[in-house]
Amino acid sequence: MSFTQEFDDHSVWRREKIRHLQGLAEWLDRQELLDAGTQERLRQLQNRLGSDKVMVAFVAEFSRGKSELINAVFFAGYGRRIMPASAGRTTMCPTELGYDDDIPPCLRLLPIETRLQQQSLLEWRSAPEQWERLELDVNDPQQLAQAIEKVAEVRRVTPDEARSLGFWHDDQPDDNPLVGPDGLVEIPRWRHALINMAHPLLKKGLVILDTPGLNAIGAEPELTISLLPQAHAVVFILAADAGVSKSDLAMWREHLAPSAEQVDSRLVVLNKIDTLWDDLSTPAYIEAQIRRQREESATVLGLQSEQVIAVSAQKGLLAKVRHNDTLLAESRLAELEQALADDVLGRRRTMLESDIDASLKQLRQDVGQQLHARQRELIEQIQEIETLRGKNETVIRQMRMRIEQEQKEFDQGGARIQAVRSVHFRELKELFVQLGSNRLKADVASLALALKQPGIKLGVKKFYSDAFARLYGSFSHVQVMAERIEDQLAASFRQLNADYGLALQMPEKLDLQPYFDELTVIERNHLQYLGVTNTFRLAQPEFADRLSKAILSRLRQLYADASGHVELWNQTSTSQLDVQLRERRKNFARRIEAVHRIQEAAEGLEERLAELQGRMHEVEADMEALARMTLPERALAEAAIEA
């Protein structure tokens, strides 16, 4: 299957999961089992599936055929090139292709001069008036391609202006753009491009990131700190006739190799194998050349040779447009598409399935507790009613008085339950303060100040290490606080269970380790900007400010995610108390009503017993339905086989 077909299947799977979760929520609501924590858990799962994006980033130096590869894999259906892919430099600025149905199809371009201002790329996204905008007609491939050609536009500026914008480095003269006879150099006209178009794959959640060249990546810390780490696959492209060049290796080591242990998210493509096709050479000799280039490239990059995929994007695009199956096979494009489908979509679905199964397991436990509590109370009521067989009115009246006294004592315990809540929320409030923006700013204040210092920033690496040591310390303190809150809540639950016959249980452990791990990734991704090779770049106030903002932006997102995780845990923990208190009050009302009915008519006792037995069967049916709707499909299949 092609990547397009696999992506269609992935989208269908997501929609089916969303419908299933919606049906589960409606069923729980009808059965009066949908508490606040369960509702929030299901809402988050549905939102995640509905808005799930699969980002594929294409990274390469200029003239490696990157834009042509994007055309061949994703846009061949237009019958022509959509991304500019002519000779020489094409895509000159980082370009994101996606779809947002709230925005008309358009191309938005951020002027390169915005690099001289303090706002980060994330902040510029919230200022649409600062972007140049062109409407796109997705039904007119020619108009679409002509409009997108603007991402290749350039400006000619003085070396001083190029230096201030991050395209000229005195310490790396070999990498600087050529000075023309007029004393000017060529730089990109745009800093960033956003393409919103209703392409079938983009509408289903695909996001394509096209990143042009080492200089463009190095000058924008947010690309390597925020965008590239978000990508579910990074396709690194080399030229088959050249192999790994010096600039290719620099890009790999500085921006991709830090995460190279996650090789399943890195695809290396040896493009332009058609340059090795030679009518004077035998097919065996050509194949040997391609194999040798794959092996040598893999060795230089520290990979296995099978991790380097050889293709011809240009021939693959031509074959798709002309429906030439023979040429398509020779281009080997299908091998890359299969790798994208298996490695990206397969891994993404596995990850989503794992998250859904884990959430539904916790939901099954929480709701199962409610059903078991209902079952236990029904058994107690049946036993209570059966003791009234043959009893006179005085005994029945005494039982009613006893139930009313139990209800009164339970209601009087409300103050104690409220005290438990108050202590819990006070501790929780302190924890959220530790994950707040003020705490974060305090931890990175000295680093931000060091980056703002003019000139060469000696010792900035130590400030960086110290800042992250404080961040790790803050997270460690939060974890200790979380464990203390868990212990206190567990003790309170045990006491309430003993005093009031409740069935409160602690949810899954509040584990912040994934956020520790993410903090480590952030620290590692930034270190590349603090080495000796970036000394002069760091001396530029604009670049240092962009780096500072990129760090803070990524950390803010991490802290927000951690806070959201804690909030969901809190809702799951405390909502069961509300549910069981509500159920207990309903139970008192039912018991009093039952005794009253028995007092009113002798046959009321048997009617009540039959009613309770019927409700027992309903609870048992609900337990079976809950298992069907929350157990993984493989578990249900195994259970069916055993049955």
- Report pTM: 0.75
Q: What is the mean pLDDT of each run of 10 residues along the chain (643 residues)?
A: 81 93 95 88 91 89 88 90 73 87 92 85 86 92 91 91 82 80 91 91 89 68 73 89 87 68 72 88 90 92 88 95 94 90 83 90 88 87 80 78 83 77 86 90 88 77 89 91 88 84 80 88 76 69 79 88 90 81 83 76 73 92 93 66 56
| Tokens 């679905």, residue located | 349
Whole-number Å distance between alpha carbons of 535 and 455:
10
Query: Beta strands of 276-361 (E only): which ranges?
Result: 308-310
Closest listed residue to residue 64, CA positions, set 292, 237, 281: 237
The predicted structure's pLDDT at residue 15: 92
Residues 132, 122: Cα–Cα separation, whole Å: 17
Q: Are 61 and 245 in contact (CB under 8 A)?
A: yes
Give the span between the Cα atoms of 115 and 94, in whole angstroms.
14
H or E element at residue 384: helix 347-386
Q: What integer pLDDT is reported at residue 261 of this predicted model?
A: 46
Residue 23 has what DSSP assignment? Answer: H
Nearest CA-CA partner of 358 in 5, 9, 44: 44
Q: Radius of gyration (Cα) for the chain, nearest Å?
A: 32
Phi, psi for 458 (deg, rounded to 5): -70, 140
Tokens of 463: 């400030």
Domain ranges of the chain: 53-153+189-331, 157-184, 420-600
Alpha carbon distance 273, 287 (integer Å): 10
By the 8 A CB rule, do 432 and 620 touch? no
Provide the residue count of the chain.
Answer: 643
Q: Which residues contact 462 (CB under 8 A, 6 or more apart)?
A: none
Which residues make beta-bridge pairs with 502?
none
Number of Cβ within a 10 Å radius of residue 297: 23
* Contacting residues for 55 by C-beta, under 8 A, at least 6 apart: 206, 207, 208, 209, 230, 231, 232, 233
Q: Kindly report the CATH number that applies to the domain delimited by 53-153+189-331.
A: 3.40.50.300
Classified as helix, coil or strand, 187 is: strand
CA 534 to chain centre: 31
Neighbouring-strand partners of residue 54 = 206
8 Å CB contact between 267 and 234: yes
Between CA 307 and CA 269 the distance in angstroms is: 9
β-strand pairing of 95-98 with 206-212: antiparallel
| 538 in Cβ contact with 529 (< 8 Å) | yes
Residues 547 and 152: their CA atoms lie apart, in Å, by 25
**Measured between alpha carbons, how far is 431 from 628 in angstroms, rounded to an integer?**
37
SS3 call for 191: strand
Helix (H, G, I), strand (E, B) or coil at 56: strand
